């Protein structure tokens, strides 16, 4: 990806929360000869409601090109449990290494609303694509 290209966006809305994901292959952090491929991704969480919500946990489901499954559970994101005010958003940046040149990821974010009721928000599935490898090649 060059500096002028915009990453592809993947979006889903669940329970009044929209999640936008922007994955980007990081060639400078990857080492194909060592079977290490790295993607960064930015997630923007939009609270479409009028009241604040509290992000308590995450569950990521990652599949590599060989369909090997990785699951990651944790509290909040990047060590924080943000409160997102009504009609506001929160941006989270992270990354994912794989041993194959492509894969995919999806997830669920758990929130608590102002009544202390828990609810889940879907993170849409998004691909990890290595633009340096032609489609259909491994």
Tokens of 88: 């506001």
> d(Cα 3, Cα 70) in Å, to the nearest integer?
31
Tell the residue number behind the tokens 């849409």, with chain if given.
124
The answer to whether the beta carbons of residues 47 and 17 sit under 8 Å apart is yes
> d(Cα 93, Cα 45) in Å, to the nearest integer?
11
Q: Is the dihedral of CA 57, 43, 52, 61 positive or negative?
A: negative
Residue 54: pLDDT above 80?
yes
Residue 79: per-residue pLDDT = 85
Query: Which structural domains are found in the chain, ordered by start?
Result: 10-128 (2.60.40.1470)
Residue of 82 and 137 predicted with greater confidence: 82
**pTM, entire model:** 0.92
> 36-46: per-residue pLDDT in tens?
999 999 999 99
């Amino acid at each position: 990806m060059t500096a002028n290209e915009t990453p592809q966006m993947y979006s889903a809305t669940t329970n009044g929360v929209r999640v936008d994901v922007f994955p980007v292959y990081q060639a400078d952090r990857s080492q194909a000869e060592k079977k290490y491929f790295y993607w960064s991704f930015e997630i923007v969480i939009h609270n479409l409601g009028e009241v604040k919500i509290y992000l308590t946990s995450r569950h990521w489901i990652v599949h590599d090109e060989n369909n090997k499954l990785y699951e990651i559970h944790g509290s909040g994101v990047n060590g924080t449990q943000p409160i997102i005010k009504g009609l506001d958003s929160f941006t989270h940046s992270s990354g994912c290494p794989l041993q194959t040149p492509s894969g995919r990821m999806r997830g669920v974010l758990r929130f608590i609303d102002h009544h202390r009721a828990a609810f889940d928000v879907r993170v849409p599935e998004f691909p990890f694509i290595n633009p340096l490898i032609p489609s259909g090649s491994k």
